[in-house]
Structure 1
Amino acid sequence: MNRIVCVQCPVGCKIKFELVDGKLTKIEGNKCPRGLDYLKDELADPKRIIPTSVRVIDGEYELVSVKTSKPISKKYIPQLMEILKKIKINAPVKVGDVVLKNFMNTNVDIIATRSVSKRDVPK
């Protein structure tokens, strides 16, 4: 049997499952319906919240932490990281500012997760 740990709540159910010809034939260990939904999503199109950082121009810090507004398909992660490596935003930045809107038409925004003030003295 295959195994996966559900991350939809703090319980962390250890789900065991069997696939035959790509179809779920046996599932055990999930304590709620969210575990089954999580397993199906992981098998069909796994998604993740992506935390990272982008460069800040004239900020008190050179980077600002950002994350996806909701999970994105794992297949998009390499493209997202390439785009974010090239982005530079001007200070000030506030928590919740949208750094990149509607990434690849997925309805997922990249948002700032901390504030960065403008630097008082330019370098």
Structure 2
Amino acid sequence: MEEKKIICIGCPKGCSLRIEHVGKTIHEIADYGCKIGLEYAENEFTQPKRIITTTVKLKSGYLPFVPVKTKEPVNKEKIFEIMKLISKLEIESPVKVGDVVMSNLAGTGVDLVCTRNIEKAS
């Protein structure tokens, strides 16, 4: 039996979770303080996901970049592939919060969206 320790980020408590497993099969999750911690440990161990936040180059805007994020978390293993795609993007202003910059990032089914309104430069 192997053991993996992780810190839960599901709530402000920050519990130190312990996962006992053999390979990818979980036998026990211990030391969680709430149901959120239990779910977090299961997901983090079996298929960790993250929301990506970054910027994209912006043409004709009063700022050179617009902040963006993935609409939903994506598998951690896809982050570098997604960032490579995002680094090549350049979009035209104006943009609004929620505008889809790129759909179905790297085949994940997750969209990249703007998180700030930026008008066209005058």
Give the deviation of 1:21 after TM superposition.
4.1
Counterpart pick for 1:23 among 16, 22, 25: 25
- After TM superposition, the runs of 4+ consecutive aligned structure 1 residues lying more than 6 A away are none
- For residues 9 and 69 of structure 1, the distance between their equivalents in structure 2, rounded to whole angstroms, comes to 21
CA RMSD after TM alignment:
1.5
After superposition, the C-alpha distances for 1:47-101 in whole angstroms (9 at most, x for unaligned) are 0000000000001011000000010001111111111111111011111111011
Structure 2: which 5+ runs fail to align? Answer: none
Structure 1: which 5+ runs fail to align? Answer: none
Identity %: 39
After superposition, the Cα gap between the structure-2 partners of 1:26 and 1:63, relative to the gap in structure 1 and judged at 3 Å, is: same
Aligned residues: 120
Structure-2-length-normalised TM-score: 0.89
Q: Residue 56 of structure 1 aligns to a residue in which SS?
A: strand
Structure-1-length-normalised TM-score: 0.88
Q: 1:6-85 residue pairs with structure 2 within 5 A?
A: 6-85=8-87
